[in-house]
Amino acid sequence: MPGVVPPPSPTLRVVRAVLVVNPQATATTPGGRDVLAHALASDVKLDVVETDYRGHAMAVARAAARDEVDLVVAHGGDGTINEVVNGLLADSGERPGNYTTVPMLGVVPGGSANVFARALGLPCDPVEATHQLLNAIEERRSRTVGLGRAGERWFTFNAGMGWDADVVAGVEKRRGKQTSPSLYMRTALACYLRPPNGRPELTVEVEGEEPVPVRTAFISNTDPWSYLGNRPVHLNTGCSFDTGLGLFALRGMALPTVLRHLRQALRTRGKHRGKQLLRDDDVAVVAVTAQEPVNLQVDGDLVGQRTRVEFRSVARALTVAA
């Protein structure tokens, strides 16, 4: 929790590891998986698991944590990483604190956006990321990162209720298609013109402040919020793994308002200004309430529909080999 500083992370010493591979991820290949597995197995006792259903990575990571494995490596997209993180921390509650009971996380990106990996400073190329991970293990390098909680679900880089969650829901309906920036843009336009659940009013409640009615709410755990291809999308430039959560909400969704903030989000510095904007880069707790069920997304995955979600920042929640 913000204000509670746990002990420093331990020196990275890996004896046992689990490699979790999503074979359906955009940039994962059997050859890349074999290279990664062979490289890891030369230094540690390694188990390799390929996921074959939603929630599988979470179950594997949870079992690894209970078995006191030293390192769990996620090779896949942001959804795979999110599942692994939720599995690692499933038994820790909101106060991990004791790092000796939670395996460290290793990341080898294999998706299309790879937002969390980029925020960590990792290369998107799986071979380069593998090399960096092996160096971190050899040199015993690690860092701790703060995470967010959306209700009972952990998230690494963003979450949201409203427009962005509707877009995620729309893209998930097209899972047979290759995800791409153009698919997200087309879906975003469709959801803007015809919101699948209408556009019910949301209420944002920040601790110590008056509730504010909004139409969509974006929650960040780092910057950039996401990527449009190789182009970063900035909503909360002061937000990082070492701060609280970033809040970005719009009171209105008129076209001039949306276009103004879209232009600002694609600028290098991403400084947002506007009368319809509610924004804060360092929030400990924020609750979003809806008049009727609306979609909730975390790290680009649809969680379901909710009428109220409390988003919380958890400082130094996880140790990452980096």
104 phi and psi, to 5 degrees? -75, 155
In total, how many domains does the chain have? 2
Is residue 320 within 8 Å of 88, Cβ to Cβ? no
Least confident of 3-7, 69-73, 121-125, 234-238: 3-7
Residue 3: inside a domain: no
Q: Indicate if 187 and 55 belong to the same structural domain.
A: no
**Omega cis (within 30) before 224:** yes
Terminal CA-to-CA distance of the chain, rounded, Å? 23
Q: Pick the last residue of a domain from 100, 120, 147.
A: 147
The pair of structure tokens assigned to 129 is: 């990321």
Q: Taking the alpha carbons of 130, 134, 135, 137 in that order, is the dihedral positive or negative?
A: positive
277 phi and psi, to 5 degrees? -95, 135
**pLDDT value of position 179:** 72
pTM comes to 0.91
Q: Indicate if 161 and 293 belong to the same structural domain.
A: yes
Scan for tokens 């009013």, then name that residue.
Answer: 201
Q: Are strands 71-76 and 16-21 parallel, antiparallel or unpaired?
A: parallel
Residue 6: inside a domain: no
Tens digits of residue pLDDT in 205-214 = 998 899 999 9
Q: Pick the last residue of a domain from 147, 169, 188.
A: 147
CATH number reported for the structural domain that contains residue 184 in this entry: 2.60.200.40
Is residue 159 within 8 Å of 216, Cβ to Cβ? no
Q: Indicate if 163 and 311 belong to the same structural domain.
A: yes
d(CA 265, CA 198): 25
Domain boundaries, position 291: 155-317
pLDDT at 5 over 60: no
Q: Indicate if 56 and 101 belong to the same structural domain.
A: yes
Is residue 79 within 8 Å of 56, Cβ to Cβ? no
- Sorted by sequence, the CB contacts under 8 Å of residue 245 that are 6+ apart come out as 148, 219, 220, 221, 239, 282, 283, 284, 286, 311, 312, 313
d(CA 271, CA 77): 28
Q: Taking residues 265-286, what's their average pLDDT?
A: 91
Q: How confident is the model at residue 14 (pLDDT cuts 50, 70, 90)?
A: low
d(CA 60, CA 205): 36
Q: Indicate if 179 and 304 belong to the same structural domain.
A: yes
**pLDDT value of position 178:** 64
d(CA 58, CA 75): 13
CATH number reported for the structural domain that contains residue 116 in this entry: 3.40.50.10330
**Omega cis (within 30) before 181:** no
Q: Indicate if 209 and 234 belong to the same structural domain.
A: yes
Q: Indicate if 34 and 104 belong to the same structural domain.
A: yes
